[in-house]
A and B are shown apart, each in its own frame.
Chain A
């Protein structure tokens, strides 16, 4: 989508590197405070850890015992997000359950720590827990109710970007920073490569914010700045339908596979935590051992998982930072890390915001923006904690008589009040593209026109097309047709379709047995057998 024909001749106050939730949140905050913002993302929004996490809106309870500071931050942000991002959140509440093998004494420690952090943790009768969450293991001996919830990181990022744009920010996807331009020990701009066209360009601003998550360590290196990061891989499993209504956690010290989060029509089980080399962060694979660990633990939480089809497995990388006085990485913080590289490394015009969690992205953005404002002598108060995001800022429009109830309801869950932008102009617009996620042609068109969509994967992240139980079996072909009609080249669109399906397969492969294998065979029978698709197509 074109917002400005000459983005590189403009002057900016700040350049933000990274199109994950941190970058998007920072772009919004900066733009709201009147700064002229350029955000650059090397692939697609939410391509990194933002698109590969649990979708869990922590109450903070998970950290209460081990990390009071994180817990306090979480519950504070939890309460704010319920106000400003309600269309991205499903207020499910959560349970921390104690199983017969667990130490019930831990529950008292846990509740006490929660209350100290300001988290409303309420011990309930296990019998009551079984009633409010029928999927939970019936043998539980203890249960605590906490204000956990389910949050959609894709729509949350989109909403932040839309608001940043409304306030003058420019966001460019597929623009990779290949160099930081340094003059007199000051970062004055970035050199960019358009990853779709290969074109090289430059943009300048007095401050550049490194919000590239785990990739931030590589970005900083371009200015000669060393940030000691420890990539921690977290693997998750998605189940084929929604098994639980509430978030279910294990009431014990955080360990593998002890959280099950409901996410619209599916359930997500996670996570593992393993250190991986920085060289592997672009190439995460879930191993059979990780699948086994997750399943073994998950079945303790919710026995029905043993009989539920696993849709796919995926892994993200947490951007953990070693504290500066401990380069060995023994004391790793999960807290927010905001670095002024002038003070730390003598490199002016450069700020890194990293560490933290999806939950605390707004606070991270606030700290980064405070620092940016300080560096360029701009006075402005942060308003992101009170101003609702687009989608949550107006009453959700009522469905008009001729609109489909099912597709409009699904669209409202994804776009909140922004559904007013989804226009059904003719009968084709009403047709359903994705039957699992109930996404209509009109919604696809809205995303293609307004939400930075270049390919099917972009479209999936904006509309959830292909994320449901069929994993793109027919909807991907239909969406490919829409992209082709919107001006795409037929051959390139078919290649895109093939790589989209290949990417879906990557997540299915670690769990390719049972019905998942049968589904995979059906998928290739349709795509390769019936449709004749290959990775490189010749039409």
Chain B
């Protein structure tokens, strides 16, 4: 992916006939996201099988705090639209506003990861870590994998913001990178829809 993204912008400049077409880089990244879909599908399948295997430990009803989940959901949803505003400003070549909206998205992303780590650490502190039951192993694997993806997205976002302030500016190459991160970020929000619906909300019923 890094190799693709650093391809010379001149290499595919000829493909543009006055109109923006999706570049092979962005399509390649889309294919990666589809494999990520399968990864999450497999982890969701494991969770679906193990969701009732409490081994005498606590169930979701006793563990999950829906207020916290609601706040996390709201944060991710807001971060989706703030990233969208960054994309629109990038198209309008308004670099200051791109950086501003990316910074807002970053802060929202960090608070999401913070809330999740807080939830995890309090569960582990109460002895309900991933080693407590099969249900909790599956829970920590699924939600943790999503959280890890968000963390990677945040690191990627900082890298792009630093690069954008350098000579790359809002070049064609940078636009491709922003488009890939946009797909990644919005994709993670889609995964979160399934997490809050089938893990948290279905878990407290």
Q: Do A and B bind each other?
A: no
Binding site for B on A (CB under 8 A): none
